[in-house]
């Protein structure tokens, strides 16, 4: 995996799955969320655990880098994250993807009170942060 600086300076299409997860980690760290990476491979459906200072609680984050794959996040992945957040002692959960969600997945996430962020959020939040870091 490349250095943090190289990851921040890279476009989304140049990042591996792990590098995109690291980019999300660096973004939340810069925003004061105190992120922790879970074990690679056996993460149990959670890639990051972030401490949300405004809500004063931990949040489980699942990250999928599906840019240009045509692959969407389905109900299955949303349900897996909802179950996995408890294994990491988290009340809240968030899903981040460089693709989109099926309608059924978004309905299920709404019922679970799960935040779902797609490609557009990644570009508007993480992408803007990257631009500021580069300049």
**Total number of domains constituting the chain:** 1
Q: How far is CA 104 from each of CA 34, 50, 73, 117, 119, rounded to the nearest angstrom?
A: 31, 26, 10, 15, 18
Nearest residue to 1 via CA among 18, 23, 24: 18
User: Can you give the length of the chain in residues?
Assistant: 135
CB count within 10 Å of CB 41 equals: 5
Q: How confident is the model at residue 135 (pLDDT cuts 50, 70, 90)?
A: confident
CA-CA-CA-CA torsion sign (65, 51, 43, 27): positive
Q: Which domain holds residue 17?
A: 4-134
pLDDT tens, residue by residue, 17-61: 999 999 999 999 999 888 999 876 555 689 999 998 888 899 999
Average pLDDT, the chain: 93
Q: What is the CATH number of the domain that holds 113?
A: 3.40.1350.10
**DSSP symbols for 93-107:** EEEEESS-B-HHHHH
- Beta strand pairing call for 48-52 and 92-97: unpaired
């Amino acid at each position: 995996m490349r250095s943090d600086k190289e990851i921040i300076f890279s476009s989304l299409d140049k990042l591996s799955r792990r590098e995109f997860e690291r980019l999300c980690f660096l973004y939340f760290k810069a925003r004061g969320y105190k992120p922790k990476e879970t074990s690679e491979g056996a993460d149990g459906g959670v890639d990051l655990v972030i401490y949300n200072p405004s809500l004063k609680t931990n949040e489980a984050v699942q990250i999928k880098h599906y840019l240009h794959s045509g692959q969407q996040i389905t109900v299955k992945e949303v349900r897996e994250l909802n179950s996995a957040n408890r294994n990491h002692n988290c009340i809240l959960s968030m899903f981040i993807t460089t693709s989109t969600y099926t309608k059924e997945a978004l309905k299920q996430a709404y019922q679970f009170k799960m935040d779902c962020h797609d490609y557009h959020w990644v570009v508007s939040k993480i992408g803007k942060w990257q631009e500021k870091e580069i300049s």
